[in-house]
């Protein structure tokens, strides 16, 4: 995987991040979702590296990146904290301004980076996600049925990590829907190592706990203050997932947040980077140039 890329561990303050980076040209950082690591981009990153300097970190808590202890508000796993990691990581690698691409949980980190650090972000791509506050305010029985894991992960009375860690491979379909035939052998090996680590599982659910509290509050504060994402933004979604079924046109959800929003669906199931890498790469190359 990642021929020509360098694998490093970079200290960004509160945590250190595992990161692969390579290529040349304008910098772009690719942010994975749950329960993946940076290796989910193994087919996309090398293709982009012909035209861009590509940076692929494990988000804090995920994969082999640092896993800080969390407070009662779960602020150590807020998207604001993760966005700060991204900015410091890119600065350490010599990139003061850069494009951000995020999928799933990574999409929340990506748009928070654009909102908190507009002077740093040149372009934004969000995939399979809408602002946290929009998802929660639009929640109905269909959303709750399809996205029930948000509530299961977020509650602390009966911690989800105890259930997941009892049999993480079955929980995450490691030999069925997320088997090596779907993920690719090396990406699958990295995924397995992550979900088998109880500390990683706990950190991943802390991400969701932050999502229902401090992340929602950050969105509400931005909306009340009239803050918007000012850089060109593209949203992509997998047409064989449930974004259209839940939101209709997902772009309409984003328009109040991003005056320069564009985007389209891609014929794929949820993990687009693994299931439709060619189509995704083409869309990114066109937008990021």
**CATH code of 28's domain:** 3.40.50.1820
Percent of the chain whose pLDDT exceeds 90: 97
The reported pLDDT for the residue numbered 253 is 97
Q: Which of these, 32, 83, 80, 84, lies nearest to 58 by C-alpha position? A: 32
Structural domain contains residue 221: yes
Answer yes or no: is 261 within a domain: yes
Contacts of 216 (CB under 8 A, 6+ apart): 132, 133, 136
| Residue 46 within any structural domain of the chain | yes
Task: Check 38, 58, 95, 104 and give the catalytic one.
Answer: 104
pLDDT tens profile 129-141: 999 999 999 999 9
State pLDDT tens for residues 188-224.
Answer: 999 999 999 999 999 999 999 999 999 999 999 999 9
Residue with tokens 């506050």: 133
Sign of the C-alpha dihedral, residues 84, 87, 93, 99? positive
3-state SS record for 92-151: HCCCCCEEEEEECHHHHHHHHHHHHCCCCEEEEEEECCCCHHHHHHCCCHHHHHHCCHHH
Range of the domain at 188: 6-288
| Mean pLDDT value across residues 263-271 | 97
Q: Tell me the residue length of the chain.
A: 289
Residue 1, in any domain of the structure: no
Q: From start to end of 83-155, where are the E strands? A: 98-103, 121-127
Q: Give burial (CB, 10 Å; 0-12/13-18/19+) of 27.
A: buried
Distance CA 286, CA 243 (A): 23
pLDDT tens figures, 221-239: 999 999 999 999 999 999 9
Strand partners, 125: 101, 234
**Residue 117, pLDDT score:** 98
Q: Is 270 tagged catalytic?
A: yes
122 occurs within a structural domain: yes
Give the Å distances, CA to CA, from 47 to 4, 43, 286. 11, 7, 13
| Residue 95 is a catalytic residue | no
32 inside domain: yes
Catalytic residue among 74, 188, 270, 271: 270
Domain count, the chain: 1
CB-CB neighbours of 270 under 10 Å = 18
- pTM of the predicted model as reported, rounded to 2 decimal places: 0.98
- Is residue 78, in this structure, part of any structural domain at all? yes
Q: Quick one: what percent of the chain has pLDDT higher than 70?
A: 100
**Is 215 inside a domain boundary?**
yes
């Amino acid at each position: 995987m990642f021929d020509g890329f360098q694998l490093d561990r970079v200290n960004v303050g509160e945590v250190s991040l595992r990161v692969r980076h390579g290529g040349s040209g304008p910098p772009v950082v690719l942010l994975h979702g749950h329960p993946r690591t940076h290796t989910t981009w193994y087919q996309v990153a090398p293709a982009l590296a012909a035209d861009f300097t590509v940076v692929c970190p494990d988000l804090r808590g995920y994969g082999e990146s640092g896993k800080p202890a969390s407070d009662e508000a779960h602020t150590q796993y807020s998207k604001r904290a993760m966005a700060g990691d991204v900015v410091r990581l890119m600065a350490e690698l010599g990139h003061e301004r850069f494009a951000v691409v995020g999928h799933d949980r990574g999409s929340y980190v990506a748009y928070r980076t654009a909102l908190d650090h507009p002077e740093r972000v040149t372009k934004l791509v969000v995939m399979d996600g809408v602002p946290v506050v929009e998802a929660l305010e639009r929640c109905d029985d269909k959303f709750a049925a399809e996205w029930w894991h948000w509530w299961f992960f977020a509650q602390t009375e009966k911690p989800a990590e105890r259930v997941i860690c009892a049999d993480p491979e079955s929980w995450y379909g490691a030999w069925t829907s997320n088997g090596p035939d779907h993920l690719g052998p090396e990406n699958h090996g990295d995924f397995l190592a992550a979900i088998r680590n109880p500390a990683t599982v706990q950190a991943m659910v802390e991400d969701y706990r932050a999502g229902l509290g401090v992340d929602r509050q950050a969105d509400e504060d931005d909306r009340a203050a009239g803050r918007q994402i000012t850089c060109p933004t593209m949203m992509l979604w997998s047409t064989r997932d449930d974004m259209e079924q839940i939101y209709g046109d997902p772009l309409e959800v984003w328009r109040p947040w991003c005056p320069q929003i564009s985007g389209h669906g891609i014929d794929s199931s949820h993990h687009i980077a693994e299931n439709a890498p060619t189509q995704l790469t083409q869309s990114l190359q066109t937008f990021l140039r």
